[in-house]
Structure formats: C-alpha cells, structure tokens
Structure 1
Amino acid sequence: MKPIGILGGTFDPIHLGHLRLAEDLAEALDIDEVRILPTGMPPHRTPALASSADRLAMASLAIAGNPRFVLDEHEIHKTEPCYMVDTLTALRAELGQEQPLVLFVGGDAFMGLDGWHEWQRLFDLAHLAIAHRPGFPPETWLDRIAPALMTQLLMRRSNDAREFADRPAGRIWLQAVTQMDISSSGIRSRLKAGRSIRYLVPEAVHHYIQHHHLYQ
C-alpha cells in the first residue's frame, strides 16, 4: 500500500516553496498522493489575513495540473483551533488503520513539535518526513531540539523508504529539499509595499491575489 503524504499549513498565501517541498518529499518516498491541507484556525499563530474561502481557492489553483496533489478540506471550514492530531485521527477513520500516512513538516516546525497538542500521539497516527535545507545536514541542527524530541528521533529515524510503505505510522525520514527562500509573510510584505510577487507563487495564484486585492 503506497503512503499518502499530508502537507498542512495556513497557506496565506500558498507559494512555490510549499509546492516544491511537497514534490521533493513525495519523490523521495515514492508517494503518488499528497493531501494539501489548508488549516482553518491555526492554534500556534495569529489568524490568517485571507479568508478561508480565499485560501482554499488559492490552494486549489496552485495544485491544478499536478495529479499528485489533492486538496483536503478537513480543517479549512473549522472555526475552532485545528490540531493535527485530531485531523490525522479523522483521516485514519476515513482511510483505515493500515494505510501508511506521512506528515510533511519543515525542519523549523519539527524543532517545535514538542509544543504541539498531544504531539507524541502523532507517531501512532503517521510517519513524519522532515524537510531541511541542503548543505545543513541534521547533525548541524539536531542538537538544538528538546531531549524528548531527540529521543523520538533516535528511536524512529529510518533511511529505508520501504519502511514508510510497509507500516502505517511511526517512522521519521529526514530529507534535504530544494532551497527556495520564500515565505508567506514575505509575500504579504511585498504586496503591502506594492512590489511584485511574480515567480514566488503560481501564476494562477498571482492573478487571484490581484483580482481580489488581497494583502494590499
């Protein structure tokens, strides 16, 4: 059974860095389906500036034409804080207990994982694939993570992609991904200053932002 990847985020707005990260991790783990999961109410940061409807529309435009990416609306319509452990539990109920799931996270997000709601349960529900910058191997930054998180990493880390298909959850993969210095906050700042965001977001997303006068 091939794994299903999951990339969650506020996506305010979604940009090429998000999409390239998902593509790199999916290729590394031979994943044919990645759920792009815009969150409704993020628990760890301020609310999104764009509405849920706009962020959902931009995500849909961003992934159009890539058969690997699937838009997932499990969180986007919620008005209460969205916790990944609850979302993965819902996906497990929908997809079955044997389906391998791989949660995609960036290195910075992983370093704060022990602050997530019921974070240790994540490993019962999914594998983790951690994206990090090329030229910065894990040995250069892993000493900064919390001891409890390091314990999980040492116990669960695997360099064998087959393990992520052979079991439903519980392993950790580390992967250098294409470096793209793009952030949603930087895009919003450029728009507020009247600067171009072309080639930072998919062209269809660029047109949507212009047409709806978002972030300006």
Structure 2
Amino acid sequence: MMKKVGILGGTFDPPHIGHFIIADEVKHALSLDEIWFIPTNEPPHKRQAMMSNQHRIGMLEEVTKEFSYFKVNTIEMERIGKSYTIETVKQLKKRFPMIQFYFIIGADMVEYLPHWQEINELIKLIQFVGVKRSGYTLSTDYPILEVNIPLIETSSTEIKQRIIEERPIHFFVPEQVYSYIKEHRLYGFK
C-alpha cells in the first residue's frame, strides 16, 4: 500500500500557527500518513527569506519533533537558484516511488496555478489540496481537493513586524518557535 504524504512548502520565515493548523487539518481530513514541511531556498514568487536556511529549519524542527507525523524535508535547499514545484515533485517521486504526494496550497496560490511552471505536467504528477484563505476563492479548472480549515489571519510578515515594534507574538507562533526566536535573537527580538 502506498504511503500518503502531504507537502507544505513555504519560506517559514518564521513558521507560525497558521502553517501547523493547515498541516494538521489536511492530515486528518484526508487521512494522510505524514505531512512534510519543505522550506524553500528561493521561491519564484517572493523575495528571499530574511533568516538563514539553518534558522528556518531549526524553528521547524523544534515543532515537528513533537509530532511523529510531521517531518522536515530540505530537498529544495539542496538546489541553487529559484525553486520550482515541478522540479521538487519530480525529485520526490524519483526518491520516494512508493509515496503518493498531496501538495497543499492556499487559495491565493490556487488562483495563481495557471502561471505555475509546467502546470499541466505537474497536475499529472501530484494531487493538489487547496485550503481557504481570506479574500480568495478556490475556484479553478485544475483538479484540486478542497479542505476546509479555520481561517487564521496571520502571516510571517506580520510576526516580523510585531517583533520589530516590540509587540507580543506569543499566540502567533508555537511555543517552540517563540523560544527559538528569543534564544537566537532572530528578527531583532529584544
């Protein structure tokens, strides 16, 4: 029997509660075996991450080590340059032929799917899972599974801004991420 693994990609700069709620909801809604967090090296649609790869992986590992079904996979950090999903999926399928992958994306990315690199090939290789995001719809001609999740209005950008303004972030990130940011004085944490 094939193992079923959800993939959640992102800069995770820093990882916040929204990421983990999405991962947990999709895992349980689709009866997946695991969720792999795949931090991007250089996303094609965003600026480069503010924190080093080491710190972004460190924050993710602090949370995922407490959940047997959460893993961190650094496949995208092994490549140089912009990271396209098609390349990642091809590599994952080659390395793990006995795994069926589910690629989790927010509604903002669902709307952007027509612009993804080699999207028509990509939809043959992987099952997309769309989750709602405020201000976006999940309507698309591409085959996606929809999973309803609680809408959590936060972002890594907002969390970094709160740190700069010396406002609390306790309830925006898991305790392990908060401790890691504080210990390493990330994002100018005082």
Rounded to whole Å, the distance in 1 between the matches of 2:170 and 2:28 is 26
Secondary structure of 1:104's aligned partner: strand
Matched, 1:206 2:149: no
Q: Which residue number in structure 2 is paired with residue 166 of structure 1?
A: none
1:36-51 matches, within 5 Å, as 36-51=37-52
Measure, in 2, the Cα distance between the counterparts of 1:79 and 1:52: 12
CA distances 1:91-111 after superposition (whole Å, capped 9, x unpaired): 000111x63210011111111
Which residues of 2 match residues 101-120 of structure 1 at below 5 A?
A: 101-120=101-120
Q: Gaps (5+ residues) in structure 1? A: 144-149, 157-171
Q: How does 1:1-216 map to 2 (within 5 A)?
A: 1-96=2-97, 99-133=99-133, 141-142=137-138, 150-152=140-142, 156=143, 172-216=144-188
Matched residue count: 187
Q: TM-score, normalised by structure 1?
A: 0.81
Q: Distance in 2 between matches of 1:19 and 1:99?
A: 22
- The structural deviation recorded for 1:141 is 3.0
| Contact 2:106 2:133 survives alignment (8 Å) | no
CA contact (8 A) 2:102 2:129 kept: yes
TM-score, L = length of structure 2? 0.92
In 2, are the aligned partners of 1:133 and 1:176 still within 8 Å (CA)?
Answer: no
Larger radius of gyration: 1
| TM-aligned CA deviation for residue 118 of structure 1 | 1.5
Q: CA deviation at 1:2?
A: 3.6
